[in-house]
Structure 1
Amino acid sequence: MNHQEIVERIASFSVLEGVPISQIEWIVERGELVEIPAGEQIFKRGDSIDRLLIMLDGLFSLKVQQAGQFKELAQIKTGDVSGALPYSRAQSATGHAFAVTDSKVFTLSVDHFYDLICECHEVTAVLVHLMTDRVRDFSRFQHQSEKLMALGKLSAGLAHELNNPAAAIVRSAESLEKHLGTVPDKLKKVISMEIVDDQIDFVNNLVFGKLRQGINKTESMIARADREDELTDWLEDNGYGDCYMLAETLADYRFDVADLDGLKEKMGEKEFPSMLTWVDNVLTTEKMVGEIKDASKRISTLVNSVKEYSHMDRSGDYEPTDIHIGLRTTLSILNHKVKKNQVTVEENWQTDMPKMAASPGELNQVWTNIIDNALDAMEEAGGTLTITTKTVGDNVRVNISDTGKGIPKDIQDRIFEPFFTTKDIGKGTGLGLETVQQIVENHNGTIKLQSQPGNTTFEICLPLKH
């Protein structure tokens, strides 16, 4: 294409409608025509944005890399203007561009932008409008991506947390079904026993007294194992060869050798085996039902945590808010990541913390973004997450600290900038901390950062009254 053909081609594009032909000629005189074959990469992520691009013919595909695969973000087609624009602060490409078809693109170096702004007012106005449209579209896309990523993290965590109790319910239900299949045989032994009311009352008081006490979940593993060994030895000495499961069940419900001695003495040699079978049946059934109940309660707790976290049944208005509830539900939602990254959580919470006027759902976004970043910082080596709350005058102060690798000093001033992120493509959009800052400022609060390797602390200070 010769000079005049390029001018006429550019002037025909609707995006430059109304621009004087002399200004288009000004651009063509200083620019360059580039032909790019299909399949060739035009630029990659991190390359400098140093040229205005006007697509004369062809098609470019803009892509970002996520999880090792390229995902198309947008297309540049015939008649589109892209690349560097006047007054734009974009310095480097955030993705990759490939030629889909054989393409012809006209380029203008940013070195000519100062003269362009001074001499070509109409062109400059058009390009500035294009820039604002691009920023708006990109911001919308990034915000949507941030929401989808946050939703994905919460969904993955919730699915992981729900899987364990759901599997426990299935496992216990199957065991209970198998166990109940042996009840008819055991019933025969119970019916054939020759016992009096006094013996029945003794067994009921013993067994159901143990059931009321329940399983001692605070007992040390060593103490429990010692008692289980003693019960196993006693059962073996009294003619019960395969007794390990029985000893485990008895140990769960705090039986000891003295209880078995008393039961045997009360029932007598003849009836003791059948009665012990009945005791084992009652305790095992109760244990399995308890496991199902605990697992079901865990699922209910997780569902309530999600509901509390999202505040789906409340308005977004400010209301009296217990920040500890939000922190606890956030930790519950992110518990899978705490365990996966081998992180210890320390809670230094003021016990008499008053409620503050706030939007609970928005504050949960603050806790989630900061805690999630802290857990990411400890992904490789584990560490400790410390959350401290206290009132200082008329304010609530929340410190969230981690022992991760820290934030380099040269970028600490930029962490709240929109779209600034140190994470790989697909792991962060750079909007999390910007959202945090906006929410904190909307609550008339402040957020500060102190960071060095092994000790990073975000301090959030919020007024009790809005």
Structure 2
Amino acid sequence: MNLLETLHQFPALATIPDEQLQWLIDRSEEVSYPKEAVLYKPNEPVDYLLLLLDGRIRIDSGANGPSDELITYGPYSFLGVLPFSRMTSIPNRIVAETPARLLQLHRDDLRGLAQNCYELTEALVHQMTTRVRDYTKLTQQNEKMASLGRLSAGLAHELNNPVAAVVRSVDTLKTHLRATPEAFKAVMNLQLTAEQVDCVTVVFFKKIDQQLAADTHQLTLLERTTLEDDITDWLDDHGVDDSMDLAGPLVDYSFTVDDLEWILEKIGDENLAGVANWLVNNLVAEKLVFDISEASKRISTLINSIKNYTHMDRGVGKQQIPLAEGIRNTLTLLAHKVKSKHIALTLTIADDLPAVCGWPGELNQVWTNLIDNAIDALPDGGKLEINSQPDRRSDGVDFVLTKVIDNGTGIPDDIRDKIFEPFFTTKEIGKGTGLGLDIVQGIIKHHNGSIKVQSEPGHTEFSVCLPTQ
């Protein structure tokens, strides 16, 4: 098969007149590459239109070789510069995945191509628009998956603690309940009147209610140790066995020696040991149930946050969006990163913040990228401020202004104008795609909003303006 017949095998060139394809052949060079040969390194100038005649070509990030593959082209594909393309280089590698044979045309001949080969130029321009659309969709999907990966890691980390607390408390509760029959025997041997029982139960529920209402004073280690010693000594003086085991739970619920003296006065010495053990037994059970309840609530909060973040149970169309909910859900899912760097977080959201009309999933991507970038830019112990307030432009348009502010090192002046460009990133290889802020800007434009950045050492501020209508 001669070269002209081979070019007609390209689906896009099947109907192109022979004389136009011959014009291309006469000005092109046929080249071959062995397997894994690098045609272009990252950011190296790309000066040729490439027509893949045989073999497969891979585009990868260049960081970890084939494992970082972005896209693969088979025979009869177009790569490199196309007519009217502004491409000068690409940030990735172009590699021959298998032995490959290509036809290459230098960019200097593209002007002549456009002047002399209308149908061929039209076909190649169509390929360019298709490539831009497909590659944009691919890279945006990769960025979404990267964001999802970060959130998944955070969610797993956040869920681990309450799940572990539930498992631990359940195991302890099972062990504790096995001892209940012995405690029941002791209770059955008590000689208490109905009035005395009421006195004990009143104190019991009063202490529980105080604990639930968080009215109790948080004891220092010294205060707690002193109180435990006082209760242990008091119980020993009154002949109660295992006084050290009883003192801890009693202190947890703010029992004092005065409380025990009052109970003793109501029930008498002969009932003290049994009542003390009954109190502690039930206090321990209450504490374990409370711990399970709090951990379960934390799990529920996290699940609701991810559910609201992804809007799993809602339509995908445009709707009225409470921005505060999206920002808070995003912070919940990124809480592990904030904690791991000991960041001081300040969240200020106006009570009268109006809703914004838009697409919830898209705006959540905005908050995720901006907040995640700010966290990455902060040192250990840094400060992060998020402020969202209603405002009005001079032309009378109402909008919501949201600021994400960090006290990191700032963005250098020489790259500040580049941060919204696709594929530009200041992160090390493998930690950033360079698409986060490009996607953010695109989403905000989709909502007829704007984004601005101000930065100097110790203060970087991203301001997002979103109209309410």
State the TM-score, normalizing by the size of structure 2. 0.87
Q: Distance in 1 between matches of 2:257 and 2:425?
A: 63
- Given that 2:241 and 2:273 are in contact with CA atoms closer than 8 Å, whether structure 1 keeps it comes out as no
Structure 1 residues 229 and 153: CA distance shift in structure 2, 3 A: same
CA contact (8 A) 2:424 2:434 kept: yes
Kindly indicate whether the alpha-carbon contact (under 8 Å) linking 2:231 and 2:247 is maintained by their aligned counterparts in 1. Answer: no
The one of 403, 407, 411 equivalent to 2:411 is 407
Let me know the Cα RMSD of the aligned residues: 3.0
Paired position in structure 1 for 2:195: 198
Q: Does residue 318 of structure 2 align to residue 327 of structure 1?
A: no
Q: Which residue of structure 1 lines up, in the alignment, with residue 395 of structure 2?
A: none
Alpha carbons of 1:67 and 1:57: their partners in 2 closer, same or farther (altered >3 Å)?
closer
Check whether the contact 1:58–1:103 (CA below 8 A) recurs between aligned residues: yes
Q: Deviation at 1:294?
A: 0.8
Residue 366 (structure 1) aligned with residue 366 (structure 2): yes
- TM superposition outliers: structure 1 runs of 4+ over 6 Å: 66-69
Label 1:363 to 1:191 Cα distance change in 2 as closer, same or farther (>3 A). same
SS at match of 1:414: coil
SS in 2 for 1:73: strand
Q: CA deviation at 1:358?
A: 2.3
- Residues 1:162 and 2:166 are matched in the alignment: no
Q: Is the 8 A contact 2:323 2:356 kept in 1?
A: no
Unaligned runs of 5+ in 1: none
| Matching of residue 183 in structure 1 with residue 170 in structure 2 | no
1:211 to 199, 203, 208: 208
User: Deviation digits for residues 208-245 of structure 1, max 9, x if unmatched?
Assistant: 11011125758675536513432234314542686555
Instruction: Tell me how far 1:357 sits from its aligned partner.
Output: 4.2
- Which of 65, 87, 92 in structure 1 is aligned with 2:89? 92
1:283-432 to 2 correspondences below 5 Å: 283-315=283-315, 321-350=321-350, 352-359=351-358, 361=360, 362-378=362-378, 381-393=380-392, 394-423=398-427, 427-432=431-436
- Listed one character per residue, the Cα deviations across residues 264-320 of structure 1 (whole Å, up to 9, x for unaligned) are 344333321221111100100000011111111111122222233233333456655
- Paired amino acid for 2:349: W
**Partner AA of 1:38 in structure 2:** K
Note the alpha carbon deviations across 1:50-103, whole angstroms, 9 max, x for none: 222223333323334677862433333333331222222233234333334333
| In structure 2, C-alpha distance between the alignment counterparts of 1:221 and 1:66, rounded to whole Å | 52
CA distance in 2 between partners of 1:156 and 1:340 (Å):
13
Residue 440 of structure 2: aligned partner: 436
Q: In the alignment, is residue 145 of structure 1 matched against residue 149 of structure 2?
A: no
- Partner of 1:353, secondary structure, is coil
Shift of 1:37: 2.0
Superposed CA deviations along residues 339-387 of structure 1, whole A, max 9, x for unmatched, are 233322102333x324334237143333222212212222x53511101
Structure 2 segments unaligned to the other structure (5+ residues): 393-397
The answer to whether the Cα contact below 8 Å between 2:29 and 2:105 also exists between their aligned partners in 1 is yes
Deviates more, 1:185-194 or 1:96-105: 96-105
- Closer, same or farther in 2 for the Cα pair 1:331/1:224, shift >3 Å? same
What CA distance in whole angstroms lies between the structure 2 residues aligned with 1:62 and 1:320? Answer: 41
Partner of 2:465: 461
Q: What SS does structure 2 have at the residue aligned with 1:209?
A: helix
Provide the residue aligned with 1:276 in structure 2.
276
- Please tell me whether the aligned partners of residues 46 and 80 of structure 2 are also in contact (alpha carbons under 8 angstroms): yes
Partner of 2:129: 132
Counterpart of 1:108 (choices 84, 101, 105) is 105
Relative to structure 2, which stretch is displaced further, 169-178 or 23-32? 23-32
CA contact (8 A) 2:366 2:443 kept: yes
Give the deviation of 1:140 after TM superposition. 1.8
Number of residue pairs the alignment of both structures matches: 460
Q: Is the 8 A contact 1:199 1:267 kept in 2?
A: yes
Structure 1 residues 77, 204: CA separation in 2 closer, same or farther (over 3 Å shift)? Answer: closer
- Contact 1:326–1:360 under 8 Å retained in 2: no
For residue 451 of structure 2, what is the aligned residue in structure 1? 447
Structure 1 pair 33–372 and aligned structure 2 pair: CA distance change class (3 A): same
TM-superposed deviation, 1:442: 4.3
Distance in 1 (CA, whole Å) between partners of 2:216 and 2:405 is 32
Specify the SS of the correspondent of 1:214.
Answer: helix
The one-letter amino acid paired with 2:357 is A
After superposition, the Cα gap between the structure-2 partners of 1:12 and 1:195, relative to the gap in structure 1 and judged at 3 Å, is closer
Separation in structure 2 between the aligned mates of residue 217 and residue 282 of structure 1, nearest angstrom: 19
Provide closer, same or farther for how the CA distance between residues 178 and 109 of structure 1 changes in structure 2, counting only shifts above 3 A.
Answer: same
Contact 2:43 2:89 in 1 (8 A): yes
Change (3 A) 1:441 1:209: same
2:67 partner SS: strand
TM-score w.r.t. the length of structure 1 is 0.87
Counterpart position of 2:57? 60
| Deviation larger for 253-262 or 358-367 | 358-367
Question: Matches of 2:283 and 2:414 in 1, distance apart?
Answer: 63
Letter in 1 for 2:467: P
Where does 1:30-69 land on structure 2 (aligned, <5 Å)?
30-64=27-61
* Contact 2:230–2:257 (8 Å) recurs in 1: no
